[in-house]
Structure 1
Amino acid sequence: MKFCHFVNKLVASVGGVILVLYESSQFYENYIPKYNDHKYIMDNSYIPFSTFFILSLSFMFLNIFSPSKNSIANSFKGLLGCFLITCSMFYFINQVFICSEYANEESSKLRFSVYFCVFLFLYMFSLCIESYQNLSFTISRNERKETGTMKVEV
């Protein structure tokens, strides 16, 4: 179970940075005049690329450097994870549309696009698990606090 938790944390932390690196390598395609050939994942008008870049780097650094016993850091990681889940869901839906267009055109890029779609789905799923663990740990830790009187013997 610890190995699965490690793999999940690794995919959730580094997956966003891998997506950012992939997209930064694809920026040069905007300047090449091609017709319907430069479709890629960040051609999405709903979420700007800079927002996803900042959120994914913040989530990665919080996962690496924050202690797991800090409830404020866990809450913030859970909140950032929720935002990243929303961003990755939009990007996943956009990539599914791109895959369907490649399938209609019978393009040679279909296989790579499907692999990318599967990676986005796994990234979104691992973010869901990681955010659930961060938020449930915070809630369960706050519920364990017992209220009442303390007896002090002198």
Structure 2
Amino acid sequence: MKFCHFVNKLVASVGGVILVLYESSQFYENYIPKYNDHKYIMDNSYIPFSTFFILSLSFMFLNIFSPSKNSIANSFKGLLGCFLITCSMFYFINQVFICSEYANEESSKLRFSVYFCVFLFLYMFSLCIESYQNFSFTISRNERKEPGTMKVEV
């Protein structure tokens, strides 16, 4: 169980940075004039790339450096995770659309696009698990603080 939790935390933390590095590698290729050949993941008008970049880096740093006993940090990590889930859902839907266009064109890039779509799905799923764990840990810590009986000696 500890190993699965470690892998989930690693994918949730580093997955956004991997997507940012992939996007940075695609900038140069998009300046090469080829007609409708280079479609890429962050070509989404709903969520700007800079917003995803800032959210993913702050989520990674919070996951690495914040203690798990701090309820405010856990709540903030859960909130950032929810925003990243929304961003990755839009990017996943965009990538599924790109995969369907590659399938209609019978392009050679279909295999890479499907792998990327699977990675986005796993990233979104690990973010869901991580956000659930952050929110449930915060709730369980607050539920333990119920007042009980006190023993007073006179």
1:95-127 residue CA offsets vs partner (Å, 9 max, x unmatched): 000000000000000000000000000000000
- CA offset at residue 144 of structure 1? 1.1
- 2:113 aligned counterpart, secondary structure: helix
Tell me, in whole angstroms, the C-alpha distance in 2 between the residues paired with 1:82 and 1:26. Answer: 26
Structure 1: unaligned runs, 5 residues or longer: none
Tell me, in whole angstroms, the C-alpha distance in 2 between the residues paired with 1:118 and 1:29. Answer: 23
> What TM-score results when the alignment is normalised by the length of structure 2?
0.96
- CA offset at residue 30 of structure 1? 2.7
Structure 2: unaligned runs, 5 residues or longer: none
Matched length = 154
Given the alignment of the two structures, is residue 28 of structure 1 paired with residue 21 of structure 2, yes or no?
no
- CA offset at residue 38 of structure 1? 1.7
* Structure 1, 25-34 or 45-54: larger mean CA deviation: 25-34
- CA offset at residue 28 of structure 1? 1.3
CA RMSD of aligned residues (A): 1.2
Could you say which residue in structure 2 is the equivalent of 1:83? 83
* Structure 1, 98-107 or 29-38: larger mean CA deviation: 29-38
